[in-house]
Structure 1
Amino acid sequence: MKFVTFQSAEHESRAGLLLNHGVMDLHQASRGALPADMLSFIAGHAQYLPLLRELHLTEPTHALSEVQLLAPLPNPSSFRDYVAFEQHLVNATQRAGHTLAEEWYQMPIFYFSNHEAIVGPDADVRRPHNCQRLDYELELACILGKTARDVRAEDADDYIFGYAVLNDWSARDLQMAEMKVHLGPAKGKDFATSLGPYLVTKDEMAQYATGDHRFDLRMTATVNGCLLSDGNYQTVHYTFGQMLERASRDATLQPGAILGSGTVGWGCLLELGPETHRWLEPGDVVELEITGLGKLRNVIV
């Protein structure tokens, strides 16, 4: 199933199911049996998914042309972003004149990002003040469906609700300055993160599984129609199971928590360098696409 959050002509934000010929308002179509927001649906999905199937709701309540798609989960309970692709980190550290820390191979590393700055497909992304080095980051997001604490990697699939395309926008000049004191990133990241266009349940992604807790998913990024990044999720070093094990050790993650995979190799302008493309500027159209998860489009303003 593909779930969305949309805004109707009445300017209400509602949770919906994406159908071939439109969007179905879960709350309206179920006559109140299903919640009106996506976070509540995810938190209660053990009850709501069987009910949704039992109701045999197949007719849209809105045509796609009548609604605006928002981030499928506009209000995640938390957001941890990892650096799980070795190639990305090798490229980025070389560009910065550093070497890759040995500790990266000992544990999946993440930072906390701003879960209150999530934007959706076709939304404008404002370049931060004093930023001249705005970058995109091509990532896969994993969304948890139930409370997790001290989860083992091999049990992680039981806690996953679904996946989506994620763009971890980065103000590189702000990020590099603050990280010189070995903290962050903070202001280099917290202005916006794009998620969408929809949230795909894990059962639908099983067709792409490679048998090693990874997926064969092509990941691409274009700027103004020019293909710049082209990678595959199966090159990831750490699996989402390993990421969740690390995140949930001695800590509790709530339903609706997002784990970001980090950037696929060659999945950002920092790695590609100025010889390939300049930093992002107002007016640029950035599109990230991942097999089975759709295309996430945003415009820089």
Structure 2
Amino acid sequence: MRFATWSAGGAVRAGVVSDSGLHALPEGTTVLDLVRAGLPAALAAGEEALRGPAVPLDSVRLLPPLEAPTVRDFVTFEEHVEGMVAPSGEPVAPEWYQAPTFYFTNPYALVGAHDDVPVPPGSQRFDFELEVAVVVGAVEGSDGASLTPEQARDHVFGYTVLNDWSARDLQFREMAVKLGPAKGKDSATTLGPWLVTADELEPHRDAEGFLALDMRVSVNGEQIGQDLLSNMGWPFEELIAYASRGTEVRAGDVLGSGTCGNGGCLGELWGRRGELSPPPLRPGDVVEMTVEGIGTIRNRVVEGVELPPVRAARPRPRTRTRAA
């Protein structure tokens, strides 16, 4: 089943997607409510909604499928990491293989499947990142802490397409301080077009437990990258288990796969080619991503706000006592 959130006529509604359009859930019910109720209850609510009238898809603005409490983004594709470190001539760090690394990104910056995306202030190297995200669900009304991968599988509610928009120049500057990414990543993250429940994608699971979904991205109609989701270094169940290690994950948490390889972002190609080819994204560019079994998101890059340059730190003395 596919759950969506949309706005029309000044009202926000949530519901189920069918070939006929969008079927609204009872007013006031959100997709996050369904995720917190658990997959069986959500499927039952969806079946009830499908009995109602359909709203045409082209008559609404699709919003992110849910208001995520937290968004973690992992880096699980070895090929992507290889490309990003290529300019240094160094191999993939051995630490990458030891555990699935992630960072927290901005849940306030989520945008819908067809929303315009402004260039972040001060950035000249704007980039996309083709990913799939898993949404954590409740099991019998409960969240999870220190889950095993087997337990984590029961907490998989569904999947959506994720575009982790990246200001590479800002990102690399701040990560040189051994912290981040931060402002290089928090201007926008596309989620959409809807949330596909886990049962729908089970037929794509391969013998090793990965989802073998085709992933493609194009800019202005020209394909830039293509990969299989099954090239991840860890399956989603292990990402959820790791995220919950020594802490907890809660229903509605979003975990990104990280950027796929083979052109899943421009930064990987710049690293391998030693030049900005294809060029960074500019206003007017249209980025389209399609993941098999989930759907397509399509965003246009637009001008961002112009802000004054960030003030540099002033040199500080090393005095240890106040002046008299």
TM bucket normalised to smaller: over 0.9
Q: What residue in structure 2 maps to residue 143 of structure 1?
A: 135
Paired with 1:54 and 1:121, the residues of 2 have a C-alpha distance of: 24
| Cα deviation 1:12-35 (Å, max 9, x = unaligned) | 11111001111011115xxxxxx5
Is 1:118 the counterpart of 2:110 in the alignment? yes
Structure 1 window deviating more from structure 2 (270-279 vs 49-58): it is 49-58
Is 1:40 the counterpart of 2:37 in the alignment? no
Paired with 1:268 and 1:153, the residues of 2 have a C-alpha distance of: 29
- Runs of 4+ aligned structure 1 residues displaced above 6 Å come to none
Q: Is the 8 A contact 1:95 1:271 kept in 2?
A: no
Is 1:77 the counterpart of 2:69 in the alignment? yes
SS of match in other structure, 1:289: strand
Q: Which amino acid aligns with 2:93?
A: A
Is 1:254 the counterpart of 2:250 in the alignment? yes
Q: Report how far residue 92 of structure 1 moved.
A: 0.6
Q: What residue in structure 1 maps to residue 191 of structure 2?
A: 195
TM-score (norm 2): 0.87
Q: Which amino acid aligns with 1:259?
A: L
Q: What residue in structure 1 maps to residue 291 of structure 2?
A: 290
SS of match in other structure, 1:27: coil
* Paired residues for 1:38-117 under 5 Å: 38-46=31-39, 48-49=41-42, 51-52=44-45, 55=48, 57-73=50-66, 75-117=67-109
SS of match in other structure, 1:17: strand
Q: Which amino acid aligns with 1:104?
A: W
Q: Is the 8 A contact 2:16 2:49 kept in 1?
A: no
Paired with 1:128 and 1:56, the residues of 2 have a C-alpha distance of: 39
Is 1:185 the counterpart of 2:178 in the alignment? no
Q: Which amino acid aligns with 1:139?
A: E
Q: Report how far residue 246 of structure 1 moved.
A: 1.2
SS of match in other structure, 1:212: coil
| C-alpha spacing 1:277/1:183, structure 2 compared with 1 (3 Å) | same
SS of match in other structure, 1:178: helix
Q: Is the 8 A contact 2:24 2:52 kept in 1?
A: no
Is 1:14 the counterpart of 2:13 in the alignment? yes
SS of match in other structure, 2:150: helix
Q: In angstroms, what is the RMSD of aligned CA positions?
A: 1.6
Paired with 2:207 and 2:24, the residues of 1 have a C-alpha distance of: 35
Q: Is the 8 A contact 2:14 2:25 kept in 1?
A: yes
Q: What residue in structure 2 maps to residue 25 of structure 1?
A: 24
Amino-acid identity (%): 41
Q: Report how far residue 245 of structure 1 moved.
A: 1.5
Is 1:5 the counterpart of 2:2 in the alignment? no
Q: Is the 8 A contact 1:214 1:239 kept in 2?
A: yes
Q: Report how far residue 265 of structure 1 moved.
A: 0.6
Paired with 2:180 and 2:277, the residues of 1 have a C-alpha distance of: 27
Q: Is the 8 A contact 1:19 1:60 kept in 2?
A: no
Q: Which amino acid aligns with 1:57?
A: L
| C-alpha spacing 1:179/1:98, structure 2 compared with 1 (3 Å) | farther
Q: Is the 8 A contact 2:64 2:113 kept in 1?
A: yes
Q: Which runs of 5+ in 2 are unaligned?
A: 303-324
Q: Report how far residue 49 of structure 1 moved.
A: 2.5
Q: Report how far residue 59 of structure 1 moved.
A: 3.7
Q: Is the 8 A contact 2:24 2:49 kept in 1?
A: no
Paired with 1:290 and 1:54, the residues of 2 have a C-alpha distance of: 25
Q: What residue in structure 1 maps to residue 265 of structure 2?
A: 268
Q: Report how far residue 50 of structure 1 moved.
A: 5.2
Q: Which amino acid aligns with 1:199?
A: L
Paired with 2:90 and 2:180, the residues of 1 have a C-alpha distance of: 17
Structure 1 window deviating more from structure 2 (146-155 vs 257-266): it is 146-155
Q: Report which of the two structures shows the higher radius of gyration computed on alpha carbons.
A: 2
Q: What residue in structure 2 maps to residue 167 of structure 1?
A: 163
Paired with 2:221 and 2:47, the residues of 1 have a C-alpha distance of: 43
Q: What residue in structure 1 maps to residue 322 of structure 2?
A: none
In the comparison of the two structures, how many residue pairs are matched? 293
| C-alpha spacing 1:278/1:27, structure 2 compared with 1 (3 Å) | same
Q: Report how far residue 47 of structure 1 moved.
A: 6.3
Paired with 1:240 and 1:78, the residues of 2 have a C-alpha distance of: 16
